[in-house]
Every structure is written in structure tokens, then in C-alpha cells.
A = this chain, B = another copy of it.
């Protein structure tokens, strides 16, 4: 059982002090280039790996960030978030949390209180008011929530979400669709609220301009059933109507419900989704949707946390992460 070498072992082998080894590895302190080179080579040859627990204890920095996810999140978001964290020198630890909002919030608070992490990024909705405790601000662990219940709707994700909705409505209106319906996703999610609000605002704005009217906002869950039952709740004379669905799953339900009502797509009804689910491209009709750059969304969220950790100003705008894909469900 060959115990892993310590910095002390490396120092002895290299004929220098333990401090020199530390300096060589961290790049701190003052060391001649030759000494540094030599130490690094010896460390390499011995397969030396610094004991991170010891380093963490001494520096009082864990170098770890927690990412909180729910069960429904695309793991591509995590990939992106982890990538940015790694580039900034942090390891990420993922905590999948389900249950009620209160439960999730309590868990995040526990995470913050554990002081194991230098920062926490939560990608599931939490009650941000509850997190503004000493432990999570001032002297505590910074928590950045990407999808919160607070009313700070001016977050990057929220603003970005409005764009495709506007484009959907405006483009379809220009093509002659005047009656619109929104089947919203869960209002617990910032994205659900943002898309709903964007829909309402856009329809209102285009009311006089283009004669657009809304038959209402339905749904309130990211499920196919929400889309399907919304179709059944519409009056018989609803068509011709354009349906802006909260996401692809909801849109699939809309297509199903419309077929059950005897409405044909894209003659009586057109529908848009969101997420660019792989299956959508192969449905009949194929689904018009918003391709989301999930890794980039994850990167953006993590950049916000890193920025905050460094005490820098607000996050940059980041790359645009949305791209509309027009397909058969809107007549191409």
C-alpha cells in the first residue's frame, strides 16, 4: 500500500524545503525558475497530487461550488455550468433537489450554512426572500438563483425569453394569423412567467398595429395534458388560431388536442413550442420551436455566480442562446 506522496516527500526528493514545493505548485512566493522547474519535474515523476482537504483547511477556501438542480433539468445546462466553473478554478458539486418550494429553499439554505461551498448556483425555483439571511449574504455563502420567485424579472434569462415569443407572434401575425392563444408553462419558473408576460405584452402591442387579439392564456404546467385540455377548452369557432405553447411537450399536447377537435394543422391552427426537443423534428407535423443553447444557458448562469464571487459588476450579456426553428406546425 504505497501511501500517496506528500509535499514533504517531494521536498525531500527534490532536495528543497516543503515551502518551495508549495511555491512551485501554487505559483506564489518567490522561486528561481530553475528551482521551480526542478520541483515540478520531481513532483510529476512521483505522481504527486496535493491533498485538497489539507489545502482547503489551510487556505479556508474549498474551491468548490454547489449547483442545485431539479429532476427535470437538461443535463446539458450542467455541462455548461461546470465548464465555466472549472475554467475559473472551481469544482462543482451537484445537488438534485425535489419537493416543494419550501423544502427546496430549506435545502439550499442548509447547503449555504454548511460552509463547504464558496458559492451556490440554484437552477430550480427557490424563495429568494428566505435566502437573504446572514448565512447566505454578507459573511455567508453567496447564492445565485437562476429561477426564483422574486420579482426581479430583469434577469438575463427573462429578457432573453421574451424575444422569440415576440418573433413568433409578429411573424405569424404578418402571415395573416390574428387570433392567438397562449398555453403557459409553470408559473413557478421564471421562464414560464417570462414567456406568459411576453405573450401578453406582445399581443397587446400588436392589437392596434396588426389587429391581433388573444383568446386567452391557458395551461400553467409543463405537461402535454395542459396543451391538450387547453384545446378542449377553446370554443368551436376558435380557429383560425395561432397557439404559442410554453414548451415542446405542451405543444405536442396542443397538436393532439387540436386533432381531437378535428382541427387541422397548419390550416385551422398553427402551434409553436420551445426547447427543440429531438422528437419534435420528426413529429407529423414537425414542431416549430426555439432551439435553446442549454450549455450556454448553464455557462451564463455560472458566470453570474463567478462574477458575484469576485465582487465584480453585473454579468455581461452573454451569447444569444435562442434560435427559432420554423417547421411544419406553423406551415414551415
Which of A's residues lie within 8 Å of B, judged by CB?
1-2, 4, 47, 49, 51-54, 56-57, 62, 64, 67, 69-76, 78-79, 82-83, 91-96, 98, 113-116, 139, 223-224, 227-228, 248-249, 252-253, 255-256, 259, 277-284, 286, 295
Q: Are B57 and A79 in touch, CB under 8 angstroms? A: no
What would 10 A/B residue contacts be, using CB atoms closer than 8 Å? A49-B115, A72-B75, A73-B75, A223-B278, A248-B279, A249-B282, A252-B278, A259-B284, A277-B277, A283-B283
Q: Check if B113 sits within 8 Å of A283, measured CB to CB.
A: no
| Neighbouring B residues of A283 by C-beta, 8 Å | 252, 256, 279, 283
**Shortest distance from the beta carbon of A1 to any chain B beta carbon, whole Å:** 5
Check A82–B95 contact: CB distance below 8 A. Answer: yes
Determine if A52 and B116 form an interchain contact, defined as CB atoms under 8 angstroms apart. yes
Of A67, A95, A282, most B-chain CB atoms within 10 Å: A282
Q: Is the CB of B115 within 8 A of A4?
A: yes
Number of this chain's copies in the complex = 2
Q: Is the CB of A282 within 8 A of B256?
A: yes
Known contacts being A75-B71, A139-B1, is A57 close to B47, with CB within 8 Å? no
Query: Contacts A71-B76, A72-B75, A95-B82 hold; do A249 and B279 have CB atoms under 8 A apart?
Result: yes
Contacts of A280 in B (CB 8 A): 279
B-chain residues with CB within 8 Å of residue A69 when the two chains form the complex:
75, 78
Min CB–CB distance A278 → chain B (angstroms): 5
| Nearest residue, chain B, Cβ from A253 | B282
Tell me the minimal C-beta distance from A88 to chain B in angstroms: 16
Q: Are B82 and A96 in contact (CB under 8 A)?
A: yes
The CA of A88 and the CA of B83, in the complex, are separated in Å by 28
Q: How far is the CA of A116 from the CA of B93 in the complex (A)?
A: 13
